[in-house]
Amino acid sequence: MEKETRRPWRRWIVLALMIAGFVLGGIYIPIQPEIVVAPEKLSYKPLFTLPVIGDFYLVNTIPTLIITIILLVVIAYYTNRSLTRSGKTDLVPRGIGNLMEAILEMLYNLTEGSAGKYARMIFPWFATILIYVLFANLLKLIPGFESVGLIKEAHGEGGHALQSLGGGWAMLTPEHGEYVLYPFLRGISVDLNFTASLALIAVVFIQVIGFRAQGFGYLSKFFNTRRMFKVPFFGAMDFLVGLLELISELSKILSFAFRLFGNMFAGIVLVAIVAGLLGKISILPAMVMMFEKFVGIIQAFVFGMLTMVFMAQATQGHGEEHAEGH
């Protein structure tokens, strides 16, 4: 029996990366960044002013938003080209077309299992939101995000000293000083404006799906007056339950927005604290980044699945309506 030869080269690569991280951590000592909830302004002057909203500044989540959209458009273009080419030859998708077809087929099967005959109506919204949030969550894990940017004067405590690198470049040092870093790129999932906007879009289209499936009868879910005059007491209870349903529907905006924002922002805080405390030891922050990748995937899946489930529920009528139909 031939004995299998072990090739431990992978562990040597990991060991070499740990040593390199320790050496580089001694040369470029990590510092704990300034953790702020609101995105940082990259422009001193507003780009334009809107009548009601006010001044509109260039913040560091807008470049990330543009990069995310461009990346999705490029992937969609090459996926379409791959599927079109396979459709003209042997009908067997290859490369990125094969990968995206497998992912979308899996998502469609999930939608069909929950929504039934309304799957074709719900699937485009569900798949778009899930893939978009997934890319938004994972894009911020690319090296350079939230670590390269403009160095500005600190307003208050928490500033660091400045060390010139030449050529107009500089870096912050752990010593106390008067400067902070405003990164060029910041993950859009940690911007409450983005998560609130996405939550508002999801809730609005949940109502759109409900109207498309049930017509104006969908409003009886919130304003149920069917038994108000036949059975006054139970009719009044049905009406109050409908108002509670309306409040619950509106609260989904807050639930969607703060769930995604809170989990992704907590990941940034955890990575920053671990990296700042451990200093030269780079393996543990790298493990935290892997955990953050896992959280980003889970949160995108949760956001998309909740949207799909709520859309599927919006297509269903009340039990009494089904009884009347039978």
pLDDT digit string, tens, across residues 8-44: 777 787 778 777 777 776 666 666 666 777 788 887 7
pLDDT tens-place string over residues 211-252: 888 888 777 777 777 666 677 666 777 778 778 888 888 888
Q: Which residues make beta-bridge pairs with 172?
A: 162
pLDDT classification of 136: cutoffs 50, 70, 90: confident
- Nearest-CA neighbor of 95 among 109, 123, 75? 75
Q: Which two tokens stand for residue 97?
A: 């077309």
Cβ contacts of 1 within 8 Å, gap of 6 or more: none
Residue 295 buriedness (CB in 10 A; 0-12 / 13-18 / 19+): middle
Give the pLDDT confidence score for residue 74 in this predicted structure. 92
How far is the C-alpha of 117 from the C-alpha of 271, rounded, in Å?
44
pLDDT classification of 270: cutoffs 50, 70, 90: confident
What residues does each domain of the chain span?
A: 60-147+186-316
- Nearest-CA neighbor of 68 among 237, 185, 224, 235? 185
Give the pLDDT confidence score for residue 321 in this predicted structure. 45
Tracing tokens 């030859």 back to the chain, one arrives at 89
Residue 169 buriedness (CB in 10 A; 0-12 / 13-18 / 19+): exposed
Judge whether 58 and 133 are in contact, CB under 8 Å: no
Does the pLDDT value for residue 143 go beyond 80?
no
E strand or H helix that includes residue 151: strand 149-153
pTM of the entire predicted model: 0.79
Higher pLDDT, 77 or 53: 77
Least confident range from 90-99, 117-126, 197-206, 300-309: namely: 90-99
Give the pLDDT confidence score for residue 318 in this predicted structure. 56
Does the pLDDT value for residue 82 go beyond 80?
yes
Please provide the average confidence, as pLDDT, over all residues in the chain.
79
DSSP label at 116?
G
DSSP label at 30?
-
DSSP label at 220?
G
Judge whether 96 and 81 are in contact, CB under 8 Å: no
How far is the C-alpha of 214 from the C-alpha of 316, rounded, in Å?
8
